[in-house]
């Protein structure tokens, strides 16, 4: 119709400008779909990027861990070299003075550091003859040690008797001990050894021993001083059979566990040996006139040939570390030493 302002097309009435409005709505819908697709693709790209970044970081950590491990191994070899050099110097000193000794060279203990292009291996050298023999020490010495490192009396009785039951060959109980029937009643049962300890960690199978008691924990005294409790791995050994304790390298708790040696005397003894290594047990009697003969019977100044080496490898600008604990006997084997124990686990970190 003329003047009506409307056009009929196949039954659809389109008003003025109607085609333009429909096209605009269509383009808006397409734009919205495109935006959603772009958002989805962006999120997918971000997720993929994060996954790749995680994979790269994990691969880098594996490489760094391997580098730390081989640094720790290098630290073990370097510490052995230092010990052998120390032993050689000791032998040369003996030869130079034609069999007489005016003084004894310091036993190599403490820290040894190996630097390699900014990376490092820090090795703690521990003399095993300064520890108490877990397989041959009398029970009262083990009990004294437990009390000295902070184990309560009742608990110390249980642990001491259980150690006795573990290492003796029979199935008869000590008063507070445990034999196979006790261990068989546990949720994860096992048998008592009824024989000597083979490795230090075997101690954690014994009734009363917890990881905290074995590895130790740090704390504060009532006066706010830092102190370490327990830590039997630092004071007991299965790698020496001699009951005498090397006074030049024994930790304070070990010395304080010796019958007849008071704690104050043990502190004084440590201070004296730090000034000058003790060459003979008679020197101890002169230093501590009130010391009993029973106490001196536990002491020795024999130079060690068995060492624990705790090597920690570190890469510069990285928090990743690798730790190896090894026990070596120097002076034997084609390399000049023999490995008695090797542990690459990082439980102590």
The neighbouring-strand residues paired with 299 are 245
Could you list the beta-strand ranges (E) of the chain: 7-9, 12-14, 110-116, 119-127, 132-133, 217-220, 226-229, 236-237, 245-246, 299-300, 306-314, 321-330, 337-343
Boundaries of domain holding 86: 54-129+304-343
Confirm whether 89 is domain-assigned.
Answer: yes
Asked if residue 208 is part of any domain, the answer here is: no
The residue assigned the tokens 């032998």 is 91
Please report the pLDDT score of residue 160 as a whole number. Answer: 97
Q: Which helix (H) or strand (E) holds 148?
A: helix 139-148
Q: What pLDDT does 124 receive?
A: 94
User: What is the dihedral angle through the alpha carbons of 308, 239, 197, 243, rounded to the nearest 10 degrees?
Assistant: -120
In-domain check, residue 311: yes
Please give the backbone phi and psi of residue 277, each rounded to the nearest 5 degrees, phi first: -55, 140
pLDDT at 7: 45
Query: Does 199 reside within a domain?
Result: no
Q: Which of 101, 132, 130 is nearest to 279 (CA)?
A: 101
Distance CA 59, CA 54 (A): 9
Domain presence at residue 62: yes
Q: Quote the pLDDT of residue 3.
A: 47
Report the CATH number that the domain containing residue 313 is assigned in CATH: 3.30.1300
Please check whether residue 148 lies inside any domain of the structure: no
Q: Assess if residue 181 is contained within a domain.
A: no
Q: Can you tell me the distance from the alpha carbon of 117 to that of 113, in angstroms, rounded to the nearest whole number?
A: 13
Judge whether 107 lies within some domain: yes
Euclidean distance between CA atoms 154 and 175, whole angstroms: 12
Into how many domains does the chain fold?
Answer: 1
Question: What is the β-pairing status of strands 321-330 and 306-314?
Answer: antiparallel
pLDDT along the chain (349 residues), means of 10: 47 51 70 83 81 78 89 94 78 54 56 90 94 94 96 96 96 95 96 95 96 88 80 94 88 94 92 85 85 88 89 90 93 82 75
Predicted local confidence at residue 161, as pLDDT: 97
In the prediction, which pLDDT does 287 show? 84
């Amino acid at each position: 119709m003329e003047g009506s302002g409307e056009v009929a097309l196949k039954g659809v009435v389109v008003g003025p400008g109607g085609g333009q409005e429909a096209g605009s709505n269509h383009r808006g819908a397409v734009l919205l779909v495109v935006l959603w697709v772009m958002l989805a693709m962006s999120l997918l790209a971000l997720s993929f990027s994060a996954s790749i970044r995680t994979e790269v970081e994990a691969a880098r950590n594996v490489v760094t861990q391997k580098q730390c491990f081989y640094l720790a191994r290098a630290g073990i070899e370097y510490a052995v070299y230092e010990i052998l050099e120390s032993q050689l110097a000791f032998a040369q000193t003996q030869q130079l003075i034609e069999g007489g000794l005016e003084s004894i060279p310091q036993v190599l203990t403490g820290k040894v550091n190996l630097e390699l292009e900014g990376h490092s291996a820090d090795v703690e050298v521990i003399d095993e003859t300064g520890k108490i023999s877990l397989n041959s020490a009398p029970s009262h010495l083990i009990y004294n040690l437990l009390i000295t490192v902070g184990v309560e009396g009742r608990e110390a009785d249980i642990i001491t008797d259980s150690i006795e039951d573990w290492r003796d060959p029979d199935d008869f109980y000590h008063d507070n001990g445990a034999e196979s029937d006790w261990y068989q009643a546990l949720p994860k049962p096992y048998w008592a050894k009824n024989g000597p300890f083979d490795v230090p960690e075997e101690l954690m199978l014994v009734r009363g021993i917890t990881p905290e008691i074995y590895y130790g924990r740090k704390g504060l005294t009532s006066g706010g001083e830092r102190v370490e409790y327990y830590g039997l791995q630092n004071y007991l050994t299965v790698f020496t059979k001699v009951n005498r304790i090397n006074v030049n390298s024994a930790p304070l708790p070990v010395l304080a566990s010796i019958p007849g040696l008071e704690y104050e005397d043990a502190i004084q003894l440590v201070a004296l040996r730090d000034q000058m290594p003790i060459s003979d047990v008679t020197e101890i009697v002169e230093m501590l006139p009130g010391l009993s003969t029973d106490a001196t019977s536990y002491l020795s100044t024999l130079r060690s040939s068995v060492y624990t080496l705790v090597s920690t490898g570190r890469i510069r600008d990285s928090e990743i570390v690798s730790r190896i604990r090894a026990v070596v006997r120097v002076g034997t084997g084609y390399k000049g030493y023999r490995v008695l124990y090797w542990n690459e686990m990082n439980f102590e970190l």
